[in-house]
Amino acid sequence: MTPKERAHVVLDHKEPDRIPLLEAWVSDRIVEKVLRRPYAGIRDTVDFYKALEIDFACISFGPPHGWERKLLDEKVFLDEWGRKWQYTKEDMRAGTGSGIVLGMYIDGTIKTSEQFDEYEFPHADAPGRMDPFKIALELIGDEYAVTGTIDEGVFQRAALMMGLREFLIYLYEKPSFARELLKKHYEFALEVGECFLEAGAEFILVGDDIADNHGPLLAPKLYEELVYPYHKALVHSLKKRGAKVIWDTDGNVMPILSHLLDMGIDGLHPIEPTAGMNIVELQQRYRNRLCVAGGIDIVKLLPFGSEDEVEQTVLSLIKDASSGGGLILGSTNSLHTSVPDLDKFVRNVLKYVETAHKFGVYPIKK
């Protein structure tokens, strides 16, 4: 099977020829380490996916033509949405292949309804937005599952536009205003998804963090009332247009898992063990309804574990969570650079990939 064929089979809850791999976001510096050359653009990200034979090549939408981040001082910049981020020199070399620069979030843009009324929201169909995806699709789209990635989805982008604490207060105290902000970001996410599909995408990954290690960031009932309708509408609209949809959220989403299942998502990523999410139990219980993706711990295992520990973890997941299909292996967030020893981290990533390719072949040998 080609990686694309493998991706379709696993998301149809069947056994492919081998367990596919997915990495949703990869730092440019990780790409440099693996390819052993300076990072020069999205083509290097594509070469990274090819070199490691990662089946789902996740590509985020890019900034508009001519857009440049606004530097406020040597450590702070504004992104396209006017949000404030802090960066170091290392962060400036730690993008994700689509013109996105990583940093530490400081503050949002919209604090009042008056600011909301005055704010000019970015356009999803701006020239240049789909350039990274189109390049990747042209290079490997016939073979790999080039996956259009909607960063920050609906809830996460709305929360960061205001500041998480302030936005959660507004959800309780001013729900009508919170709905207006959520609706705007739902519309943007949907339009970006439609642009991906028009460009040729068959797979969409929606990244929208709704939880932390303790559980959902808002009460399940409030999620059901205010956020879930937009999540459900987004998934239904994308699937109606023929897309297979993988939902990405960090944290423990068990209290709202029934809602995620009812949305009709094809896959759930990244299934964090450090957040109390058990990928084996989820695969065994829901594999006929849901493909689980992730499971390779990014908090302790990949940064600090030995290569033997990495190998044993991957072997255990293959043994316990692969029967009948419905399993995609990958890191439990992203391949980032916030680790004490980057070389060790990369060696562990290569060990997990090597082990998955070698032993994740169906029929699985016990």
- Chain-centre distance for alpha carbon 211: 14
What is the pLDDT, as a whole number, of residue 265? Answer: 98
Task: Please state, in angstroms and rounded to a whole number, the distance separating the CA atoms of residues 25 and 35.
Answer: 16
Predicted structure pTM score: 0.95
Asked whether the beta carbons of 205 and 147 are under 8 A apart, the reply is: yes
| pLDDT tens digit sequence for 222-263 | 999 999 999 999 999 999 999 999 999 999 999 999 999 999
Task: Please state, in angstroms and rounded to a whole number, the distance separating the CA atoms of residues 174 and 223.
Answer: 15
Q: Which H or E run includes 56?
A: strand 56-60
Task: Please state, in angstroms and rounded to a whole number, the distance separating the CA atoms of residues 212 and 107.
Answer: 19
Asked whether the beta carbons of 124 and 192 are under 8 A apart, the reply is: yes
Q: Is the pLDDT confidence value at 96 over 70?
A: no
Dihedral of CA 121/123/127/130: which sign? positive
Region for 194 from its dihedrals, namely left if φ exceeds 0, alpha if ψ lies in -120 to 50, beta otherwise: alpha
Task: Please state, in angstroms and rounded to a whole number, the distance separating the CA atoms of residues 21 and 132.
Answer: 21
What is the pLDDT, as a whole number, of residue 68? Answer: 86
Q: Is the pLDDT confidence value at 87 over 90?
A: no
Measuring CA to CA, which residue among 2, 3, 9, 5 is closest to residue 267? 9
Task: Please state, in angstroms and rounded to a whole number, the distance separating the CA atoms of residues 279 and 283.
Answer: 6
Between 279-286 and 307-321, two packed helices, what is the crossing angle to 10 degrees? 20
What is the pLDDT, as a whole number, of residue 92? Answer: 46
Q: Is the pLDDT confidence value at 335 over 90?
A: yes
| pLDDT tens digit sequence for 211-231 | 999 999 999 999 999 999 999
For residue 104, the SS3 value is: strand
Walk me through the domains of the chain, giving residue ranges and CATH numbers. Answer: 3-65+109-359 (3.20.20.210)
Task: Please state, in angstroms and rounded to a whole number, the distance separating the CA atoms of residues 13 and 8.
Answer: 9
> By percentage, how much of the chain surpasses pLDDT 70?
96
Q: What is the mean pLDDT of residues 330-344?
A: 93
What is the pLDDT, as a whole number, of residue 211? Answer: 97
What is the pLDDT, as a whole number, of residue 34? Answer: 97
Q: Is the pLDDT confidence value at 97 over 60?
A: no
Q: Is the pLDDT confidence value at 366 over 90?
A: no
User: Which residues, listed in sequence order, are joined to residue 292 by a DSSP beta bridge?
Assistant: 268, 327
For residue 355, the SS3 value is: helix
What is the pLDDT, as a whole number, of residue 88? Answer: 59
Q: Is the pLDDT confidence value at 169 over 70?
A: yes
| DSSP of 120-157 | -PPPTT-TTTTHHHHHHHHHHTTTSEEEEEETTTTHHH
For the chain, what is the mean pLDDT?
94
Q: Which H or E run includes 296?
A: strand 291-296
Task: Please state, in angstroms and rounded to a whole number, the distance separating the CA atoms of residues 244 and 269.
Answer: 14
User: Which residues, listed in sequence order, are joined to residue 77 by a DSSP beta bridge?
Assistant: 71, 85
**Residue 12 gets which letter from DSSP?**
T
What is the pLDDT, as a whole number, of residue 74? Answer: 77
